[in-house]
Amino acid sequence: MKKLLISAAVAGLFSSAAMPALAQTAPAAAPAASGFSAGANASRYHIAVVDISFIFKNYPVFTQQIDKLKGEMEAADGALRKERDNLVAMEEQRNALKPGSAEFKSLDENLAHKKAEFSIQQGKVRRDFMEKEAQVYHYCYTQVSAKVKEYADKNQIGLVLRFTGEDNPGQPAATQDRESVMRMIMNPIIHQSSIDITPDVLMTLGVDVRKLPAPSATVPSTATQPGQGGFGGNQLR
């Protein structure tokens, strides 16, 4: 994934909150998918593609941990915003005093000390949350990559490439904005013919893809049984 989902938000934090160790166990895996039309040719060609971004967005172990971390971030942000407001009040109190007076000097030194501590704490919070976020990604990516390998080995697939289904290989960019066009150009997969094993991998992770929300029209050939949730129109092979 191009960016960690919450790194930008972390950069604006003023404080921290500890995140419990990632000891959550993945849900019991559902029976392995018998095969989806999206990946019907994967075994035939011995090559497949998989949309890791889509898997992460629909993998409860990942989304629950990220949501929990976001909540902790908001709490930490609120706590340090309060501390920042206290520093602002102290600064206003100092400015109301006569410059050069003993009381002014004392309050000014105390304020400088507290500002330095605040700056150190702010940096620590940013690092802590980025580390916790990285732990979530590492844990979940390890689970996903293991299932990809397991599925590939079982189905005689010698190479699995990562692609982004939203970029819809072989189709023009949905919009002409620079970001969409450049993402389309940089996509290493120009064409794929029913070798997308994304739904199969999700099923092995215990995710019933039949219950997922219908994807946008730009998401190609990542499908499950018709008439049951998202991915309608593609058949189990």
d(CA 50, CA 58): 14
| For residues 156-172, average pLDDT | 78
| For residues 23-42, average pLDDT | 55
**Better-predicted residue by pLDDT, 217 or 135:** 135
Q: pLDDT at residue 185 above 90?
A: no
Mean of all residue pLDDT scores within the chain: 77
177 pLDDT band, cuts 50/70/90, is: confident
Question: What values do phi and psi take at 50, rounded to 5?
Answer: -145, 140
User: Can you read off the two tokens belonging to residue 26?
Assistant: 């993945």
Question: What values do phi and psi take at 144, rounded to 5?
Answer: -65, -50
Q: pLDDT at residue 172 above 70?
A: no
Tell me which residue of 166, 130, 184 sits closest to 58, measured CA to CA.
Answer: 166
**Better-predicted residue by pLDDT, 140 or 6:** 140
| Residue 35 Ramachandran class (φ > 0 left, ψ -120 to 50 alpha, else beta) | left
Q: pLDDT at residue 224 above 50?
A: no
Q: pLDDT at residue 233 above 60?
A: no
79, 15 contact by CB (below 8 A): yes
What percent of the chain stands above pLDDT 70? 70
Could you tell me the domains of the chain?
28-211 (3.30.910.20)
Q: pLDDT tens-digit profile of 38-89?
A: 889 999 999 999 999 999 999 999 999 999 999 999 999 999 999 999 999 9
Burial of 8 (0-12, 13-18, 19+ CB in 10 A): exposed
189 pLDDT band, cuts 50/70/90, is: confident
Q: Which long-range contacts (CB under 8 A, 24 or more apart) does 228-235 make?
A: 231/38, 231/199, 234/36, 234/37, 234/38, 235/37
Q: pLDDT tens-digit profile of 190-201?
A: 888 999 999 999
pLDDT at position 167 is 61
- 71-85, 86-100, 141-155, 210-224: least confident range: 210-224
Q: pLDDT at residue 119 above 90?
A: yes
DSSP assignment letter at 209 = G
Q: pLDDT at residue 147 above 80?
A: yes
pLDDT at position 186 is 82
Distance of CA 91 to the CA centre of its chain: 39
Identify the sign of the CA torsion 144, 145, 149, 150. Answer: negative
Q: pLDDT at residue 225 above 80?
A: no
